[in-house]
Structure 1
Amino acid sequence: MNGNLRVEGEQVVLTVGGDFQGRNAADVRDALIECLQNGHHSIVVDLTDVSAINATGLGVLISIQQRLESLDGKLSLQGVNNSLKQVFERTRLCQTFGI
């Protein structure tokens, strides 16, 4: 995975780098699922260093958000650049993720 995972108090911050698609998206999904299994219900995904995202990456974010909502948790996104914001706008996911 192109990224870094750190725990800051009650919150987990996952910094993702490169393209958030394909194998990298699967690795991010696995890391986030492990966080959930370890009892973390507040997760921030930092997309500052992400150059592209596709349906696979969006699917990972949606599925993790749904799991967290069922646990009264929260998924937050930060560092969404203009290019990524356009993808979220085109897919009508801005409101879903509070962008």
Structure 2
Amino acid sequence: MLKDLTTQDEHVLVTLYDELTVTDAADLREQLYQKIEEGHSWFIIDMERLSFIDSAGIGILVAIHKRTKERGGHLKIRHAKGPVYEVFEMTRLTTVFDFE
């Protein structure tokens, strides 16, 4: 998984590419937790170029969502489509996350 992180004020735009799997999940979690510790509390996760996500990837997003909410922030998922969006539907997380 390749990713771009762009920050502005409290906001972080995370653009994910290819696949988000157990292989990459811990690295992404650490980077996003670091951003939260630096004071960022609003995250946009752009999945337009993401083709696959597994349960570890979903778990990281749930953890980040929980941490941002605890700090008065927000996590929004942008451009999830096809098989990636279907994973959110199957796990009923479409009612948890804010999709754009």
Give the TM interval when normalised to the shorter protein: over 0.9
Q: Distance in 2 between matches of 1:78 and 1:35?
A: 19
What stretches of structure 2 of length at least 5 have no aligned partner?
none
Q: Distance in 2 between matches of 1:50 and 1:25?
A: 14
Q: CA deviation at 1:23?
A: 2.0
2:80 maps to what in 1?
80
Q: Compare 66-75 and 23-32 and name the one that shifted more.
A: 23-32
Q: Distance in 2 between matches of 1:50 and 1:64?
A: 18
Aligned residues: 99
Q: CA deviation at 1:19?
A: 0.9
**Displaced runs of 4 or more, over 2 A:** none
Whether the aligned pair in 1 keeps the contact of 2:9 and 2:40 (CA below 8 Å) is no
Q: Compare 88-97 and 76-85 and name the one that shifted more.
A: 76-85
2:8 maps to what in 1?
8
SS at match of 2:96: helix
What TM-score do you get using the length of structure 1 for normalisation? 0.92
Q: Distance in 2 between matches of 1:76 and 1:19?
A: 19
Q: Distance in 1 between matches of 2:9 and 2:37?
A: 17
1:60 maps to what in 2?
60
Q: CA deviation at 1:31?
A: 1.2
Task: Give the RMSD, CA atoms, in angstroms.
Answer: 1.2
Q: Distance in 2 between matches of 1:42 and 1:98?
A: 12
Q: Distance in 2 between matches of 1:81 and 1:67?
A: 25
Q: Compare 18-27 and 48-57 and name the one that shifted more.
A: 18-27
What stretches of structure 1 of length at least 5 have no aligned partner?
none
Spell out, residue by residue over 1:30-71, the C-alpha distance to the aligned partner (whole angstroms, 9 max, x if none): 111111011000011111111111110000000111111111
What TM-score do you get using the length of structure 2 for normalisation? 0.91
- The alignment-based identity, stated in percent, is 29
